[in-house]
């Protein structure tokens, strides 16, 4: 293709004009909005801050039972149960009515079905949680779908109608929300996928705060891949830099959010494993570089680690002071032993609840930096990584 050569200097492209160096001009800066006061999240700001502080309280963390009905069905199938509402209710009742659970658990993330359910005796699940001083939370995203124009990556849907849904969830008793999106290291991640993830999380967080719900911000860096821990650190720093940029752009109140990051680990298929001390070192390095101290709580996901691994890594991160409450928001790393103990049998409910308390207490001690793996059984040591995991 022939190209057009512009021989004249750029200052002389307009006929009859003097070169820019010979003209005087006044450059007027574009008008900028200047905030008249501090950023506020509507009328809920004080409540949001108090809710976040309550969840980020010493020795406590979050129980995540927000699996979709389909994923809950897979868990039930692993112990030979059908995926029916009755069976899902029975399992969640087991979890949410565990005596003294509030000693170690400060919040429980529920699926929409569970938020509106009651026990077989007619007591609302949200009331069971309140009696234990556990904040009810709600998953509000609508799941991952393919991201056009990306490197086989995903984006998270659910912004349409989110404000009205959050308002209804608040009326039902929810006080915090969760939105999960992901970044895949084997897929790049592409700049498009990172920007989409960050913008979606920021819009969700602003909408949730505007309706009284503390948003949990969760861009999960998937464990899939054979990359070293240094590559995970690089990607995590990039993702979190983008996330906080857009959170600020959307006027999100940092004191009224919680984070749910992945731990910085090597890829699950990397030949060399990392010790808890190494994982803690790299994870805290990322957090200190990217997360403002105004954020009250860092509630880690387990991401397919074994129950014991997730607890050991959390414990290693709490061997020194941190500017935030560094704790847990575990699903499988709290539930795996529970399911296998229960087996869907009413006579096993008490034993299964005791298994939940064992794991919850272990992670409570890890949050305080006092956990020891001495006495852990083989079940707690079993890995739970699933390549391409969805829920």
168 as an active site residue: the answer is: no
What are the tokens at 22?
């010979």
Q: Is the dihedral of CA 200, 206, 211, 214 positive or negative?
A: positive
List the alpha helices (DSSP H) in 211-343.
Answer: 229-249, 276-290, 307-317, 332-342
Residue 369, phi then psi, degrees to nearest 5: 75, 25
Q: How many CB atoms lie within 10 A of CB 132?
A: 17
218 as an active site residue: the answer is: yes
3-state percent breakdown (helix, strand, coil) of the chain, nearest 5: 45, 15, 40
Please tell me the distance from the alpha carbon of residue 371 to that of residue 358, in angstroms, as a whole number: 12
Residue of 196, 220, 260, 309 marked catalytic: 260
Residue of 218, 242, 307, 309 marked catalytic: 218
Residue spans of beta strands (DSSP E) within the chain: 61-65, 105-110, 135-139, 144-146, 154-156, 176-183, 214-221, 258-259, 297-300, 325-330
Question: Could you list the active site residues?
Answer: 218, 260
């Amino acid at each position: 293709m022939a190209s057009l050569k512009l021989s004249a200097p750029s200052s002389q492209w307009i006929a009859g004009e003097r070169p820019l160096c010979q003209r005087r001009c006044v450059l007027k800066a574009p008008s900028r909005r200047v905030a008249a006061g501090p950023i506020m999240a509507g009328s809920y700001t004080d409540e949001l801050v108090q809710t976040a502080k309550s969840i980020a309280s010493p020795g406590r963390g979050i129980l995540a039972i927000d699996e979709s009905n389909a994923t809950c069905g897979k868990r039930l199938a692993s112990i030979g149960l059908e995926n029916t509402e009755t069976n899902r209710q029975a399992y969640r009742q087991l979890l949410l009515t565990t005596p003294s659970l509030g000693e170690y658990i400060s919040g429980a993330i529920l699926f929409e079905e569970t938020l509106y359910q009651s026990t077989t005796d007619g007591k609302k699940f949200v009331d069971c949680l309140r009696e234990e001083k556990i904040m009810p939370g709600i998953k509000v995203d609508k799941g991952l779908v393919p991201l056009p124009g990306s490197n086989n990556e995903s984006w998270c849907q659910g912004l349409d109608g989110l404000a009205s849904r959050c308002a209804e969830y608040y009326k039902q008793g929810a006080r915090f929300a969760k939105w999960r999106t992901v970044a895949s290291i084997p897929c790049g991640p592409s700049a498009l996928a990172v920007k989409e993830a960050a913008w979606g999380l920021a819009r969700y967080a602003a909408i949730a705060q505007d309706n009284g719900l503390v948003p949990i911000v969760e861009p999960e860096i998937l464990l899939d891949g054979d990359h070293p821990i240094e590559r995970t650190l690089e990607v995590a720093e990039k993702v979190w830099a983008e996330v906080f940029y857009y959170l600020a752009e959307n006027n999100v109140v940092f004191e009224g959010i919680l984070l749910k990051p992945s731990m910085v680990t090597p890829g699950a298929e990397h030949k060399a494993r990392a010790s808890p001390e190494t994982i803690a070192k790299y994870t805290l390095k990322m957090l200190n570089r990217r997360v403002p101290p105004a954020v009250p709580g860092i509630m880690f996901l387990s991401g397919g680690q074994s129950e014991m691994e997730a607890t050991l890594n959390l414990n290693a991160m709490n061997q020194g002071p941190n500017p935030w409450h560094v704790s847990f928001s575990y699903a499988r790393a709290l539930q795996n032993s529970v399911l296998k103990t229960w087996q869907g049998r009413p006579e096993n409910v008490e034993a299964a609840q005791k298994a939940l308390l064992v794991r919850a207490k272990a992670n409570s001690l890890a949050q305080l930096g006092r956990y020891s793996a001495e006495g852990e059984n083989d079940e707690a040591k079993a890995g739970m990584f699933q390549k391409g995991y969805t829920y």
